[in-house]
Amino acid sequence: MPSRFARRTALTAAVLAGPVGWVTAAAWGLPTALGAHRRRLRRVVSRSPQFSDGKFHNRLPTPALSPANTRDGLLRQWHEERHVGLPGGPIPLATAELPDDAAELAVTWLGHASALLEVDGQRVLVDPVWGYRVSPSPVFGPTRLHEPPMEIGELPPVDAVLISHDHYDHLDLPTVRALVETQTAPFVVPLGIGEHLRKWRVPEDRIVELDWDDAHAVGALTLTCTEARHFSGRYFYRDTTLWASWAITGPRHRVFFGGDTGYTPAFAGIGARLGPFDLTLLPVGAYNDAWHAIHMDPEEAMRAHGDLGGAVLLPIHWATFNLAFHRWAEPIERLLAAAARTGARVVVPRPGERIDVLDPPPLADWWTPVGSAAPDAHEDAGVGSSVLARTMTRLLSLLP
């Protein structure tokens, strides 16, 4: 018969097996997903006028974290209101019929900030994210609210892949690896992100790193790295790589891609130098009073669209991931109300829908039937478990 010590040891092992297994699974692949270490980044980024004191800075003073009382409110929201951002039903997807030759001006929205642009006969893929979970871990972190509207292998050949910054919902390791295998286009990225790509074995000749106001030509298109008001970081360290918006200008048409940003008066200068823009893709979701400086709300997106001299606005950064505490459909409802006041032209495609920007279709309301989750909904909020909420609480409690 086993001794009491042996039985106790076996019981302890059985009790620990679950948590240890979970932690092992949660940490699987973390060192790779986190990207390049800041020591590797320093040699690339230190030449930038945006870089000082060991990190990048916004030109406009931008608080990194709200005061303690606001932060505590955020923690309560994370625990108690993380279900608010869920849709009320399935999100309808579209299947785009992509032409063999890129059009004069068209866009296929792929969900969140991902889109395939067609500008003057060339194609540019922006912030592509096909991953199921936007997190360094395969176990916790926000999950998709709808499937990708197409397989990544179904993309036609693209001329460039643009990245706005290194947050997981904009720079996705599985997607990068797939694009290395299925495409030959260069990755055109803000300073520092090239080190992430090098760590992930993207060929050197496919990496182009730019600072704000730098430009790179791809065929007849000029890709200009423009200012944004945001931050960067893939977990432990913040602001070690640059964040950006992008101007895509061709011989006949111009597109502005906002990526992820708070409102900044710099948009007016970008519009004056590089615009006016036939199409703007601007973030309208994941806003909160606590981070108003780094995420635009819908009314600010409409203001930015005007500053940029935009003709048609396509809202991005909503619908695909539950990243904030507003209702799922609220960003579009507020944006269209703001557009009605200004007379701005807005297109709201379903994920996967292709829009001919020179002849856009009438606005079709597909989001109201989906609706937002009921106030008492208890479905998983896209984090996989409440572990992320507890982890974030602990991490934020350690901040000054």
The answer to whether position 303 is within a domain reads: yes
Kindly report whether the peptide bond that precedes residue 276 is cis, defined as omega within 30 degrees of 0: yes
The answer to whether position 399 is within a domain reads: no
The answer to whether position 292 is within a domain reads: yes
Q: Which of 255, 225, 310, 258 is nearest to 104 (CA)?
A: 255
pLDDT tens digits, 214-233: 999 999 999 999 999 999 99
Kindly report whether the peptide bond that precedes residue 298 is cis, defined as omega within 30 degrees of 0: no
HSE at residue 297, side-chain half, CA atoms within 13 A, is 16
Its domain, for residue 194, covers: 105-370
The answer to whether position 157 is within a domain reads: yes
Instruction: Check residue 158 and give its pLDDT.
Output: 98
Instruction: Check residue 279 and give its pLDDT.
Output: 99
| Strand order across the beta sheet in which 215-218 lies | 215-218, 221-226, 245-249, 254-257, 279-283, 312-316, 345-346
CATH of the domain at 364: 3.60.15.10
The answer to whether position 136 is within a domain reads: yes
Task: Please count the structural domains in the chain.
Answer: 1
CA distances from 124 to 203, 231, 292, 338, 382 (A): 19, 24, 29, 29, 29
Residues facing 154 on adjacent strands: none
Instruction: Check residue 235 and give its pLDDT.
Output: 73
The answer to whether position 16 is within a domain reads: no
> Per the structure block, which two tokens stand in for 312?
């048609």
Task: Give this prediction's pTM.
Answer: 0.87
DSSP state, residue 206: G
Rounded distance between C-alpha atoms, residue 304 and residue 284, angstroms = 11
* Segments in the chain below pLDDT 70: 1-31, 35-39, 41, 64-82, 375-400
The answer to whether position 282 is within a domain reads: yes
Q: Spell out the residues 6+ positions from residue 99 whose beta carbon is closer than 8 angstroms to its own.
A: none
The answer to whether position 243 is within a domain reads: yes
Rounded distance between C-alpha atoms, residue 208 and residue 215, angstroms = 10
Instruction: Check residue 27 and give its pLDDT.
Output: 42
Q: Spell out the residues 6+ positions from residue 37 whose beta carbon is closer than 8 angstroms to its own.
A: none
